[in-house]
Amino acid sequence: MAASCTHPLDVTKVRMQTVTNEAGSKRASTISIIRASVASHGVRSMYQGLSASLLRQMTYSMVRIGAYEDFKDRLSRNGRPSSIQLLMAATVAGALGGVAGNPADILLVRMTSDITKPPEKRYGYSNALSGLIRLVKEEGLKGLARGLGTNITRAILMNSSQVWSYDFFKTSLLQRPVPMTNYQFQDNLGLHVASSVLAGTFATTVCSPADVIRSRIMSSSSGDTFLHVLTTSLRNEGPRFLFMGWTPAFIRLGPNTVLLFVFFEQLKKGWSILVS
């Protein structure tokens, strides 16, 4: 549900991250990327790769969030888990999600960045399923693991910074009033929105370097390694490339995080009522 709402921003982020710049050249802005895509290929181009995005959520997000909730429930049986325990749970769950969602991540990066490539270098996947079949046929099972190490690192950073920090901010806001005010949050929609905005900001910043490198590795068909992408990009573009696409990443991850946790909290409440 959240990914369907924020997919155009994910498309913009990936296209910014996979466009490399020579030293001294002008960087493409968020607005220029959107304008160029819409002008050349229409509004529908901003939803290119939606099927891969949904497949990614039903593998990567399902595992990382589901596993974290399960770990948290198990830890809670012996009393309230500490922040360190929850951080470790989020780390392990993130790694599992990175493995589960890697094939869908490859398809998402390739499908959303396809129109930025010359016609002869485009993949031309019509949807996630046909793309998955072609990926295995053309690159073998090994192709499903392209960028796996970087993706696991990014997934660990994402789960640790997004899911764990959401719980951290939520608990902190419940325990004490907002600084310089007497306002005290209650466990309601306002708390969920505030906690998820803070978690989205934190997660965007922490994950940006791994996200940029992951996108460049996955969009390539030449087998570039993490070290090659890192050294080449640093030489040509400087360290700022590590935060390329931060703005659309935040614009996408902020609302995505809010929608994700608001939907999740409401679904949990609905399920509790149904079960009881």
Whole-angstrom distance, CA of residue 96 vs CA of residue 68: 10
Helix (H) or strand (E) holding 46: none
Whether residue 22 has pLDDT greater than 70: no
Whole-angstrom distance, CA of residue 161 vs CA of residue 163: 6
92 and 67 in contact (C-beta within 8 Å)?
Answer: yes
Whether residue 88 has pLDDT greater than 70: yes
**Higher-confidence residue: 120 or 24?**
120
Report the pLDDT value the prediction gives residue 85, as an integer from 0 to 100: 93
Average pLDDT over residues 77-98: 92
Neighbours of 72 (CB within 10 A): 18
Neighbours of 132 (CB within 10 A): 18
Average pLDDT over residues 218-245: 78
Report the pLDDT value the prediction gives residue 115, as an integer from 0 to 100: 77
Average pLDDT over residues 205-223: 77
**Higher-confidence residue: 52 or 114?**
52
pLDDT in tens, 184-196: 899 899 999 999 9
Report the pLDDT value the prediction gives residue 20, as an integer from 0 to 100: 55
Domains annotated on the chain, with CATH: 2-275 (1.50.40.10)
Helix (H) or strand (E) holding 242: none
192 and 265 in contact (C-beta within 8 Å)?
Answer: yes
What is the percent of the chain where pLDDT is above 90? 37
pLDDT range class, residue 79, cuts 50, 70, 90: confident
Whose structure tokens read 């806001």?
Answer: 173
Average pLDDT, the chain: 85
Average pLDDT over residues 169-177: 88
User: CA nearest 96: which of 70, 127, 74?
Assistant: 70
pLDDT range class, residue 32, cuts 50, 70, 90: confident
DSSP-derived secondary structure for 111-178: HHHGGGS-GGG----SSHHHHHHHHHHHHTGGGGGTTHHHHHHHHHHHIIIIIHHHHHHHHHHHHSPP
pLDDT in tens, 93-147: 999 999 999 999 999 988 888 877 888 888 888 899 999 999 999 999 888 998 8
pLDDT range class, residue 228, cuts 50, 70, 90: confident
Average pLDDT over residues 261-271: 90
Report the pLDDT value the prediction gives residue 19, as an integer from 0 to 100: 65
Report the pLDDT value the prediction gives residue 24, as an integer from 0 to 100: 42
pTM for the full predicted model: 0.74
